[in-house]
Every structure is written in structure tokens, then in C-alpha cells.
Structure 1
Amino acid sequence: MVTPITPPIAVHFVWHPDDNDNIRSIIMDFRRYLTRDIERPFSRELNIPTFLYSSKSFKCLPSKPEKLANKDVIFLFISCNTLMYSNWETYINELPEDDDYNVIPVAIEQAGINHTSSGRLKNYNCIRAFDWPEEFKKEYAILFLSHEIYRFGLKNAQPGSLGIYHSIRLFLSHAKKGDIGLNHAESIKHFLDNSNMQRFFDANQISPGFKFDQEIEGHIKNSTIIAIASDHYSSRYWCQREILSAKKERRPIILVNSLEEYEDRVFPAASNIPCVHVTVEPLREIDILKILIAALLETIRFEHAHKLLCYYQEQGWIDSSAEIFARPPEIQQLIDSLKKKEHLAVCYPEPPLYKEEMEWVNHFNITVSTPLWTSAYERDDDKKFRIGLSISEYLPDGYEIQHQDLDELKRFSQSLARHLLANKHTLIYGGDLRDDGFTQFILDEAAVLRDRLQVEKLFVENYLSWPLYIKKENMKWYANYKTVVNPISVNIPNDIAEIINDSNLFLEPNCPENKYIWSRCLTTMREESILSSDVRVLAGGKFENYLGKMPGVLEEFLISLRKEKPIFLIGGLGGLTSKLCNSIKNKSIVEEFTEEWQVSHNASYIELQNIAAKNNHSANYEEIKFVIENISIEMLAQRVGLLREDYEKLMITPFIDECVHLIIKGIRNLSKRG
């Protein structure tokens, strides 16, 4: 049986649908810290996969979280609602008991603690979310939940074990003698000593009777460093020594910017690390919480990145001889390695650094890489492809079946666009001119890349059908991305040109006749963009509330198949593409691909089909059924340059890194074919 990769950690959230108002916003806020921020695509986030389990109705139980990673951490939110229904008690008691499948109960109401008196959760330590101060609820949620990920996901804690046995050691680096850095360090230490955070963190102090330098270096080897940058910090010898020692030992570091007036020289080693800005004095509780959150998350990110890269190295994604770094490398850190090796290979986490930051590696004959990119493949003589993207959202189901949020599709489009554009392939996309739409995410990525790569032009083509391209707001939208997009307006097909009264007036799709005109224009646009493509990538896609004679992603798949285009099907991210992959594997279509289902779920669809049939342009669902049930996975795999096993992984994996890795692998193989 083909299975996706097994990353070090996956985090799952399970909650009762009636608790949505109480807990969902906290879950979604916390997820933003675990995954890459779609608003800051070049940020270095944790990149831990997250999965969501709930339902649309209290009558339905969520699915049980699957075992997907080496360590699965399941946050189970318990409340009056989970106590009231006996089926929830059964659900909880049937959750697997496994050292690598860790259930963390989170009581969002005091009554929820009653779950821990018997059954599966008996004697479990419970996170008491109802005790979190309302003013800092978000911050406490991030700290408490992150610490459980650290304990269970990285430190192999067992249910019932106390957090203090897996606390994070903090090293508070600061200037002495009454400096503001000393005051801030004392405030942080006082806060930890007088709150329940002391079981999360252990703040180091220098013990009397020890040699100063030896004890400092001994503490640093096992600590997360909080460097409190005051006006005098960078000029102090021991502060510099502490930073250099932390970099040498490859320890997680955060910088707390607490400058009062001026610093004449920022110590170079105190860079390439996360930075938190705080008020001057006194240090407020919210500032201390920000510092502790940054320290905890950077510690998790650091250890997780190392585990993840080592795992990818075992999978053959990166050079087996590469040195692993949890953050982008610095020349000071590589000096010793360069003395030992004639050629050095280095791998660090996504996303890649680009030209202006990495020019020095060529001088020293160093190959740098991330899991999805390597400088060894940057050759201008590689074949450049025109790659069409068919990516769109779908209607959410309350996480009953699809256990990822729709923002995963946006992360996928960003990551894929970044790597394809960086290798100077042309991206082709159709429509979707709206704020926060997929076109915007792709073009935002292109705009940043254009500056980072220092090139005059990146290649993104966006196809628009009539009447979308005559809308003034769409033209204004294009103007914002003039340097990175080539808009292509597709002509009205001849068979409907004569029934359009005025092609300069926008036509609303507000009746079956107008919807038919739209469907013909959209089909023509799709045919032209696909004909112009060398390769197609499909992900997501909705079955309802579309404009056209059938769901857009389905039509683009059928046209691509008919044109014998290589097609990458990304099934693990949900939507129509997921059900298409299931239908192909099972040789039996799901009900959504039938005309009966489409008629019952889309208003006026039967009228549209009748008009289209009179003009020989209707959707033929018998033909669709025959085509899907007779597709060969071997053929799909061979066309995109993958083995069948890899293609089947692509059809099921929920992990974005694996999706992008397999697409890039296939495109490189196609390039070798010429």
C-alpha cells in the first residue's frame, strides 16, 4: 500500500461543533503560529502540519484523528457539550492508546474536567483553559498548547507526566550593572518564579563558586538564549561571547529589542534570528508573554526543523552528505567545516534565501539547499515549461471529511509558485481576480521573487474570458501587478458572438441564457490556456456555485486529458480533485460527478443543460463517467515523469512539502527527457 511521508510531528484539533464560538478562534490563531503565515510567505515558521476534526451538527461525531506522523499530538477540547452526549464518551474512550498518539485534554469549561475521572482520560493532566485570564487568553493558549507540542512531540513525554520534567531552559543574556537589560531579565525571572509558567521554563542564573566562562558555556549548550539588546549590549565582551557561543553550539536564540536611544554598532553575530520589540520600562506582562512565546516557538521550530530535515535526508530529498542547519547558515559557522572539506553541502529549512543573501557561497564552493530547492539545479540550460495551475477553493464541510482548512490550498499555491518561478518556468492561471484569491497569492509571490532574484521579468500569464476582462475593476486590479503579469483576454467564441447585443457591456450571469453565454466563454478560455500549457497542476475545486457548464477544475482536467497534457493531481488537499483521485483509483465515480447530483445542488442547472444541448455544447456525464473510470494511473504518472508509486502518493498526501517535492521531481525528469 502506498503511503505519504511520515513527518516528525502532526497536530490535530478535535472539538464539539457547539463549542465553535468558544474555541474555534483560538484554534485558528494558534494554527497561524504552527504553519507558514500566508500573509508573510517568506517567513520562517514552524511548518508543522495541522488537522481539524469537528462536524456541522451536534448529532454527528467527528472522525477520529489518523496516525499521520512519528508523533501525533491531539488536542481534545472538552466541555459541557462533550459531557452531555453519550456518543462523545464512547468516541473519547475509543481513541487509540499509543506512546506516539498523544491525547491532550483541554477543558474550555470547568465541567469538562469530569472527563478525567474515568475512561480513556482517567487521571490525565488537563489544560484548564477556563482559568486563562481573559485579557491574555490568546497568549496563554499559545504558551500552554505549544508547550504540550514541545513535551509530547519533541521530548517524548508520557501521559500524566509533569511539565517541569520537560521544561525549556532559558539563558537570559544581558548587560549588567544597572542596565535596562538586567532589569528586564529580573522581571522575566520574577514572572516565571511567581506564576504557573515555572513548569514550562527554567531560567538559568550563574551559581556562586563557578568559573564564569565555563558555566556560561555549559548552560548555553542546553538552553534557549534570550538576548536582551539594550544600548550597551553589543559593546559588552561577555554578551558577545554568549552570542558567539550560542551560534557555535547551534542553539535557538531570540533577540529582545529594548533600545532606549542608540546603539553605535549592532554585533554582527546577533542577526539572522527572530526579534521581539518591547517597551522600555517597566516591562509589562504582555511584553513578557511575547518574549516567552517567541522563545518557546523558536525552540520548537529549531528542534522540529532539525528532525524534519534529517527525515527528508533519509528520504533522499537532500544530499546525504549535507550538514543540517535549523536556520540559514552564516559564514562564521562554516569556517571549521570548510577546513575539513573541499566541497561543502548545507541544507536549511524552507523558504530559500535568494541571490543577494547567498552570493558568498559560490566563492567558497558551497552547495546550499532547502528540502525543495538546491543551488545545484540552478542551470539556465534546463528546459523551461509553461505550467498551468487549476487551483480553487471548495465549500467547507465543517471538517467532517476534509480535515484541513482551506488556507492549506493557498499555502500550496504560494510554495509551488515560489519554486516554479524561481526556476524561471512560466505560470498560467485563469481568472479569480479578487482580493485574497489564488491569482493574488501567486502574483504577490512573483512580485517578491522578482526583487529577490534581481530579474527584470518573471513569467505569469493570467487568462480572462469575456465579459470579465471588460470590467474596469479587473483592469485596475491588473495595474497593481503590471511588472509581473501578462493579462490575456480570450475572444468571444464565434457561435455566441452574434447573440451578444453589446460586447462592451458587462453581462450578469443571472438567468440560464446568460449562464450559457458565460459557460461558452469560460470553456473557450480554458481550452486556450490549456493549449498554451506544457503541464497542468490540479488542486481543490468546488462542485457547487460555479459558472460554466460543469465544475471548472473538472472541465480543465477533461480538456487537459483530451489534449494529452501531463497532469499532476493533488488529491490530499481536498475538494473536487480529491474525489477525482478516489474515482480514478477505485474505477468508480462518486455521486458528485453525475448529472443528477449536479441538477439537485445547482439552481437552474437543468435549464442551462437544456440550452447547451440545443447548441451541442452540454456536459455529457455518461462520457465523463466513462473517461474517469477508464483512466490509467500508469499513463498519468508516465506523462508527468513519475513512477506510479510516486504519482499515487501525490494523489493522497496531505503534506504540502511532499506535493511540491513530487511536482518538482516530475518536472526535472521531464526536462531531462527534453
Structure 2
Amino acid sequence: MGEVRATDLAKPFFVLYVVWHPSFELGEKIADAMMQHFRRDLYKNIVGGAGIPVVFRNACMPDNDIPISINPEDSEASAIIALVDDNLCESQSWVDYVKGLSEKTEESNKNGFNNLLFPVSFNKEALHKVNLSEQALRWDSWKGDNNEKTMRLISELTYEFCRMLRHHLAQLENPSNKNLENYLKKVQIFLSHSKHDIDGIEIATSIRKRIHEGHGLSSFFDVNDIPAGLRFDEVLLAQVRISAMIAIHTDSYSSREWCRKEIIEAKAWNVPLVVANSINNMDERGFPYMGNVPVVRLGYDVADVSRIDIVISRLLDEVLKDFLWRCQTHEIRKQLPSRAFLIPRPPELISLSCIPEGPELTDTASTETILIYPDPPLSTEEERLINRVSPNVQLRSLAEWKAGATR
């Protein structure tokens, strides 16, 4: 059973603040969309029941024309999203409020990038009036209607949050001064696809193109990215281990040896993984280890970039979930018994093959292995199946382990 320190309860780990002028009607709709996205079930089980805290700053204090101040030190990490429109820029007190947030985040980031301000520009003139040093997200230059732009904003921010938490995790594991070079490294995406389907190659090419057009992500596209002189198999498997993966499930995918190897390697290393379902006719024998991860219907129309955007956004959510889990369990990891392991997704049969081997012990109780995973607890039938295969492996959700639950 793990101990929960008082500081864990007093200080949230990661908080999002959304700032907008009360006269900006679209601002409220955007803030509501962000609230629904980051507090939904997808994040609830990682963050501890309520999702990522999303706090609004649009209502002014009594006898004042600006909201309550924001203190970045109230959480381990925070992101302030400032929606900069004409209403905000025409009020000097609101301009000063946002500039004050910029100064606070800069002051708090002397040793890292734990608290950042993300301005969102709704027109170029408004951005110039505020005159912030931080690079803005340019809503005003994006194509599409407001719903499409809102989805893009959430996706772009999710990617930036991934960068923030990746740097935070590196600081937890190896405390050092802030490292801009490491922060700027792109999130790698591995495009696993079958070359025996024309659809597979075309879809992977379209996803790669879309990735490079948007978030500043980096993609690994098999032979195109293997340096001359290096062994194909070594580079491929090494790249899987350090990437998030999109598995493009076309008709021949499950029948291809290297597609299966890539999936198994991704599962063994617990990398974020999303399956893009692009079955055209049928898959003769679905590969069993492609389950237990999100599956998104992509189809096989390479011109439908809206579906590609959904796949990429869903993968970014998985990457952010992974960093949230690893950051928030960093201290817990130090308290674990020698045969207890934290895994970032619900356990499955392949999880048993990835348990590190330890020394042989004569005490039966000591040889029990515990796998601790994000809530909610596994269903009874799944747990029974794993127990039938490995009766000495105990499964506990994080909440169960903290509470000292036993079977």
C-alpha cells in the first residue's frame, strides 16, 4: 500500500486557466469546449477522478473590472490560455492583467517550463496591441468554421502540454537547469502500415503530410527515415520504443510480419498507441494484440483530412495521458515493493510477457508480482483470465493500491 503525502493533497499537479473578456461571446464557447475535453472520462482516470482542472477567468471581481489573479505556484505546472480579441485589447486594465500573467509565468520558469502563457490571437491588430513576448496561436489565420478551429486549438494546445510535461518529467528524473533544446524536440509519431495495400501506403503518406503541415510533430515513415548503412530491423524497433504510434489497420496489416512486430514492440514498451481503422473489405485474421487501445474509424479516403485530424488529435491525447501518468506516479514509483510495477494502460495478457525477471525467492508471498494501472479497476472476466494464466500476478488500479485493497 502506498502513502499519500500531505503535499499531494494540497497542490494539484497540472491546472489549465482560460482567460477571456466577458464581452467576448465566442470565448465562453471555446472555454466550455476545453472544459468538456480535458475533464471528460478520457482524462478522469489518469488525473484522479475529475480530469485536468480547467479554471475560468472571465468574471470580474466586485468593484473591479478584472478577474481574480492567477498564481502559477498554486500547482506543480499550469497553462494559461489567454483569448486575445478586440474586447480585451480595448480595455487597458485587461491588457495589464494579461501582461501581468506573462510576467508571473516568466518569473516562475527560471528553472524550467512548468508554467506557460499561451496567447490565442483572434486578429493580428489585437495581438499587436497587447504586445506579449510569448508566441501566439493564430486562430485568425486558420481555415474552417469556429467548431473546426476550436478542435484545432485543443489539439495544438494538447501538443504543447505534452512538451511541457515531457520536460517536467525529465526534471523529476534528473533535476537540472531548464533546457530549451530538449523542450523544443518534437514528439515522434511512428506510422505503422502495410506496404502490401495501396491504401496503406497512400493513407500513411497523407497522415505524414498532415503531421508536417500542422503541429510541428515528427514522423517516422519506415524506409524513408532509415539512415544508409544501418540495419533495418534495429532502427525500426528502436524507433518504435521512443515514438507514439498510429497503426493504420488496412486489409493486409495483420498478415504482415513486420506490422505484427511493431505492434508487439509498442505494447511491450507501453508507448502511446492508436489504431486507425481503414479496413476496405475484410481482415482475414485480426491481430489480437491490437486491442486495449483507442480505435478510430479513419476510412480509406486520403482526401478526408478531417478524419486524419481526429486520429492525430486522439493520439496526442494518449501522449498527454502517458506523461500525466508518469509525472504523477514518479514519487509513488520510489515507494513500490521490488515486484510491483506501474503500467500506463489496463493490463492484458501481453502485459505478463513484459514483466521484468527478478531473483528467485523462496518466500511465496514475496514472489507475487503486482501490476498497478490507471483507474477504473479491470472487469471481473478480464481479471479472471489473467489470473488463470498467471495466478501469482496481482492486479490493482492505482486507487485500489493506495487504499490497500486485497483480493
Structure 1 partner of 2:399: 372
Structure 2 partner of 1:137: 149
For residues 433-474 of structure 1, what are the alpha-carbon distances to aligned partners after superposition, in whole Å with 9 as ceiling and x for unaligned?
xxxxxxxxxxxxxxxxxxxxxxxxxxxxxxxxxxxxxxxxxx
1:166 is paired with a residue of what secondary structure?
coil
User: In structure 2, do the counterparts of structure 1 residues 41 and 102 end up closer, same or farther at CA, with 3 Å as the change threshold?
Assistant: closer
User: In structure 2, do the counterparts of structure 1 residues 250 and 257 end up closer, same or farther at CA, with 3 Å as the change threshold?
Assistant: same
Structure 2 partner of 1:6: 11
The 5 A counterparts of 1:549-568 are none
1:333 is paired with a residue of what secondary structure?
helix
1:17 is paired with a residue of what secondary structure?
coil
User: In structure 2, do the counterparts of structure 1 residues 237 and 263 end up closer, same or farther at CA, with 3 Å as the change threshold?
Assistant: same
User: In structure 2, do the counterparts of structure 1 residues 178 and 357 end up closer, same or farther at CA, with 3 Å as the change threshold?
Assistant: closer
1:54 & 1:105 partners in 2: Cα distance?
Answer: 15
Q: 2:138 aligns with which of 123, 128, 132?
A: 128
Does the CA contact (< 8 Å) of 2:16 and 2:53 recur in 1?
yes
2:194 aligned with 1:175, yes or no?
yes
Q: 1:47 aligns with which of 46, 51, 72?
A: 51
Does the CA contact (< 8 Å) of 1:23 and 1:108 recur in 2?
no
What is the CA-CA distance between 1:162 and the residue it aligns to?
A: 9.3
2:55 is paired with a residue of what secondary structure?
strand
1:332 is paired with a residue of what secondary structure?
helix
Does the CA contact (< 8 Å) of 1:167 and 1:201 recur in 2?
yes
Structure 2 partner of 1:202: 219
Amino acid at match of 2:246: I
Structure 1 partner of 2:364: none
Amino acid at match of 1:293: S
For residues 405-447 of structure 1, what are the alpha-carbon distances to aligned partners after superposition, in whole Å with 9 as ceiling and x for unaligned?
xxxxxxxxxxxxxxxxxxxxxxxxxxxxxxxxxxxxxxxxxxx
2:162 aligned with 1:150, yes or no?
yes
2:163 & 2:46 partners in 1: Cα distance?
Answer: 25
Amino acid at match of 1:9: F
The 5 A counterparts of 1:355-504 are 355-363=380-388, 364-374=391-401, 377-378=405-406
What is the CA-CA distance between 1:164 and the residue it aligns to?
A: 9.1
1:273 is paired with a residue of what secondary structure?
coil
Identity of aligned residues (%): 23
User: In structure 2, do the counterparts of structure 1 residues 32 and 74 end up closer, same or farther at CA, with 3 Å as the change threshold?
Assistant: same
User: In structure 2, do the counterparts of structure 1 residues 346 and 170 end up closer, same or farther at CA, with 3 Å as the change threshold?
Assistant: same
- Matched residue count: 368
1:351 & 1:70 partners in 2: Cα distance?
Answer: 24
Q: Which moved more, 1:356-365 or 1:298-307?
A: 356-365
Amino acid at match of 2:80: I
The 5 A counterparts of 1:217-616 are 217-312=237-332, 322-337=340-355, 339-340=357-358, 342-363=367-388, 364-374=391-401, 377-378=405-406
What is the CA-CA distance between 1:223 and the residue it aligns to?
A: 0.6
Amino acid at match of 1:335: S
Structure 2 partner of 1:36: 40
Amino acid at match of 2:340: A
User: In structure 2, do the counterparts of structure 1 residues 163 and 292 end up closer, same or farther at CA, with 3 Å as the change threshold?
Assistant: farther
User: In structure 2, do the counterparts of structure 1 residues 22 and 54 end up closer, same or farther at CA, with 3 Å as the change threshold?
Assistant: same
1:233 & 1:349 partners in 2: Cα distance?
Answer: 29
Amino acid at match of 1:337: I
Structure 2 partner of 1:71: 77
User: In structure 2, do the counterparts of structure 1 residues 368 and 225 end up closer, same or farther at CA, with 3 Å as the change threshold?
Assistant: same
2:178 & 2:118 partners in 1: Cα distance?
Answer: 8
What is the CA-CA distance between 1:295 and the residue it aligns to?
A: 1.5
2:41 is paired with a residue of what secondary structure?
coil
Q: 2:66 aligns with which of 42, 61, 64?
A: 61
Amino acid at match of 2:295: C
Structure 2 partner of 1:16: 21
2:15 & 2:351 partners in 1: Cα distance?
Answer: 31
User: In structure 2, do the counterparts of structure 1 residues 131 and 251 end up closer, same or farther at CA, with 3 Å as the change threshold?
Assistant: same
User: In structure 2, do the counterparts of structure 1 residues 256 and 336 end up closer, same or farther at CA, with 3 Å as the change threshold?
Assistant: closer
Q: Which runs of 5+ in 1 are unaligned?
A: 380-674
Amino acid at match of 2:141: D
Does the CA contact (< 8 Å) of 2:31 and 2:56 recur in 1?
no
Does the CA contact (< 8 Å) of 1:46 and 1:305 recur in 2?
no
Does the CA contact (< 8 Å) of 1:168 and 1:223 recur in 2?
yes
* TM-score of the pair, normalised by structure 2: 0.80
What is the CA-CA distance between 1:369 and the residue it aligns to?
A: 1.9
* TM-score of the pair, normalised by structure 1: 0.50
Q: Which runs of 5+ in 2 are unaligned?
A: 1-5, 171-176, 360-366
Amino acid at match of 2:208: K
1:200 & 1:373 partners in 2: Cα distance?
Answer: 36
What is the CA-CA distance between 1:53 and the residue it aligns to?
A: 1.5
The one of the two structures with greater contact order (alpha-carbon pairs below 8 A, sep at least 6) is 2
- Structure number with bigger Rg: 1
Does the CA contact (< 8 Å) of 2:12 and 2:75 recur in 1?
yes
User: In structure 2, do the counterparts of structure 1 residues 369 and 112 end up closer, same or farther at CA, with 3 Å as the change threshold?
Assistant: farther
2:331 & 2:55 partners in 1: Cα distance?
Answer: 21
